[in-house]
Amino acid sequence: MSLLVLQGSRTLFYKEVLRFWKVAFQTVAAPVLTSVLYLLIFGHALENHVKVYDSVGYTSFLIPGLVMMSVLQNAFANSSSSLIQSKVTGNLVFLLVTPLSHWAWFVAYVGAAVVRGLVVGLGVLLVTAWFAPLGLANAAWILVFALLGTAMMGSLGLIAGLWAEKFDQLAAFQNFIIMPMTFLSGVFYSMQSLPPLWLAVSHLNPFFYIIDGFRHGFFGVSDVSPWLSLGVVGASFAVVAGIALELLRRGYKIRS
């Protein structure tokens, strides 16, 4: 039975990857173009007016933030949109009759979200790296925060997809929770430029630690210690993944 479940999880993972890859022009190329437009607008307007770190130009500083912003948003979109589409169209029943455990569902959906997030992030990096020099202080930090960030957002997407019963609810979750937390996480600015009140508030945002740790991997400098960021992101992932697994185990809004 365990071999059957493993095979089923692998098949579901393949199906989820194929789902977004079949429309790669929309799911991969479009986010890359959006990031390039952000870079052109903000980089051109602020390059000579904003100084973040002594040894890092503003456009260079901006690129890792845009990469991770695209990674997080697309990892969330992959798992959440897949679940809500299956619920709305009614084909989720074909998964419910399989012997797949909640762990198998989790691994397949989150795994596919990680793949999409990394593919989009790599595309953004390859295109935007032509606009400004990037360092490589520590590749391990880049990889760790990319994997943890995509896994956390894939898990959060599962929660949103399970909770939402229609596309409007999912859009509200993304517009009022994901987008504000992403844009207020230090993508376009250093947290040290904020007044004390907003600096304290920003430190409550786990997305900030993902982006700050990811950026540290390129430049070797960051607003907080990468070890602190790793602790916060790791704990956040554990909490979100635990909630997603429990909801899947109960069959929340999918078995009733």
Q: Is the pLDDT of residue 170 over 50?
A: yes
Range of the domain at 229: 2-250
- Domain for residue 31, yes or no? yes
Q: Is residue 100 part of a domain?
A: yes
Flag whether the pTM goes above 0.75.
yes
In this structure, is residue 83 part of a structural domain? yes
Q: State mean pLDDT over 15-29.
A: 94
Q: How far is CA 198 from CA 176, 182, 190, in A?
A: 18, 15, 12
Number of compact structural domains in the chain? 1
| Average pLDDT of the residues in 31-53 | 82
| Residues 174-192: tens digit of each pLDDT | 999 999 999 889 888 888 7
CB atoms within 10 A of CB 220: 16
Instruction: For 44-69, write each residue's pLDDT tens digit.
Output: 777 766 677 777 888 888 999 999 99
Please give the Cα distance from 9 to 5 (Å, whole number). Answer: 6
Band of residue 1 on the pLDDT scale cut at 50, 70, 90: very low
256 part of a folded domain = no
The yes-or-no verdict on residue 130 having pLDDT over 60 is yes
